[in-house]
Amino acid sequence: MSRWIGTANQGYSPYAIEELRRLLPDMKATQLVAGEVFIFDTSLDREAAIHAVHSERPAFLRHMQPIDRVIAIHGDADDLQELSETARRAALILEDKRVSIHLRKVKATKYPYSAADTKALLDAVLEEMGAESSLQQPDVIMAIYAGESELYIGYGSPSDMLSDWPGGAVRFQREKGQISRAKFKLLEAEREFGLDYSAYRNALDVGAAPGGWTSLLLERGVRVTAVDPGEMHPSLANHPMLTCLKRNAADVKFQPGSFDLLVCDMSWSPMQMCKLVLDLEPSLAPHATAVVTVKLMHRKPLQTIREVKERLSTAFVIEQSRQLFHNREEITLHLTKK
Ligand SMILES: C[S@@+](CC[C@H](N)C(=O)[O-])C[C@H]1O[C@@H](n2cnc3c(N)ncnc32)[C@H](O)[C@@H]1O
């Protein structure tokens, strides 16, 4: 038996819960933040629950945090006292480890302290215990979720929690002159799917304008062919590694095997996107990678995803399908050409 806090993108927790129900026996969920955060119980123990979730990673579950301890919130310094005690009692889990402290709070929480204050306090406790406080690549995360009147505390590796970011909310620094926010989606896909765009030589970017994805691939040293009837950003004009085709993607044809990477971020219906990607498939080299966003246009995202996967699997291995933190009404697929 184990207890967890699950998190999905705003509005998508019902789908994350539905996916978990299929994976975990006797799963029960209660809402913490409408549409986003929920507590779930399963009859599986912690390791078995982690194994089940990893074996078929749900598309909509962004983060899961075990609940190892619950503390009633007092709303004063007693809360800090109890948190310190809790960390000390977890010495077996924390000592000699690199530890990150993650704090998330619901809006209406009675817990009065900021993440920075909480971290400063617990870092001092960690130091006493011989643990190393670490923001990057921790062995263990001490995750604290401040509900309205209770603190839910859990320990686990970034892999157990599905992310090394608090709640799976991956934050990137916006750069000066960044062409579009869409760039973050492709960056997050690189991180989350374990890709390295610099390993590719020739990419086809379909639905490329204004050019956020194209600019990231160019920065990685990849030659890019960008297809879009819309305007690309002027900062990309005359880039020596870029070819722009100001055309509808349905009207372009390439030599067979021209590209080892296809990226596609068109706001099209999922089935039209499938047709387009399948039509372009011969232009891809064997085992080429594709990163494709799928719009979730109507009410049944799980069914849409099932249908899209079924169609694309005629030509591609579906490596992953996930709603990334930077995806809004969509998910991102990672595919490999068969
Ligand atoms: C969400 S934007 C892409 C943003 C881009 N990934 C970026 O990082 O800047 C979607 C783009 O798809 C393009 N698009 C829509 N239908 C298309 C088609 N049939 N062929 C090519 N591009 C298309 C639109 O013109 C639009 O520029």
With respect to residue 215, please indicate whether it lies within any of the assigned structural domains. yes
The predicted pLDDT at position 246 comes to 97
State whether 333 and 188 are in the same domain.
yes
State whether 163 and 238 are in the same domain.
no
State whether 200 and 276 are in the same domain.
yes
With respect to residue 7, please indicate whether it lies within any of the assigned structural domains. yes
With respect to residue 173, please indicate whether it lies within any of the assigned structural domains. no
State whether 97 and 233 are in the same domain.
no
The predicted pLDDT at position 180 comes to 86
Task: Tell me, in angstroms, the distance from the centre of ligand 1 to residue 268's CA.
Answer: 9
Residue entry with tokens 């406080």: 133
Q: Residue whose CA is closest, atom 27 of ligand 1?
A: 209
Task: Tell me, in angstroms, the distance from the centre of ligand 1 to residue 161's CA.
Answer: 34
pLDDT along the chain (338 residues), means of 10: 97 97 94 97 97 97 98 97 96 93 96 96 93 88 97 98 95 88 96 97 97 98 98 95 96 97 92 95 98 89 95 98 96 98
The best mutation among 179, 217, 228 to test binding of ligand 1, ranked by most ligand atoms within 8 Å of the C-beta, falls on: 228
The predicted pLDDT at position 294 comes to 96
Q: Residue whose CA is closest, atom 5 of ligand 1?
A: 208
Task: Tell me, in angstroms, the distance from the centre of ligand 1 to residue 229's CA.
Answer: 8
Of the residues 44, 61, 78, the one at which a domain ends: 61
295 is catalytic: yes
Q: Ligand 1 site: residues with CB under 6 angstroms?
A: 179-180, 182-183, 206-213, 227-230, 248-250, 265-268
Task: Tell me, in angstroms, the distance from the centre of ligand 1 to residue 54's CA.
Answer: 33
Of the residues 168, 193, 225, the one at which a domain ends: 168
Which pTM does this prediction carry? 0.95
Q: Residue whose CA is closest, atom 7 of ligand 1?
A: 212
The predicted pLDDT at position 177 comes to 86
60 burial (CB, 10 Å; 0-12 / 13-18 / 19+) is buried
Total domains, the chain: 3
Residue type, 215: S
Range of the domain at 10: 2-61
Of the residues 13, 33, 61, the one at which a domain ends: 61
Question: What six digits make up the tokens of 197?
Answer: 């765009």
With respect to residue 178, please indicate whether it lies within any of the assigned structural domains. no
Q: Which of 105, 183, 295, 337 is catalytic?
A: 295
With respect to residue 202, please indicate whether it lies within any of the assigned structural domains. yes
The best mutation among 265, 273, 274, 293 to test binding of ligand 1, ranked by most ligand atoms within 8 Å of the C-beta, falls on: 265
The predicted pLDDT at position 204 comes to 98
State whether 90 and 209 are in the same domain.
no
State whether 22 and 155 are in the same domain.
no
With respect to residue 17, please indicate whether it lies within any of the assigned structural domains. yes
Give the CATH number of the domain where residue 197 resides: 3.40.50.150
Give the CATH number of the domain where residue 89 resides: 3.30.2130.30
Task: Tell me, in angstroms, the distance from the centre of ligand 1 to residue 200's CA.
Answer: 22
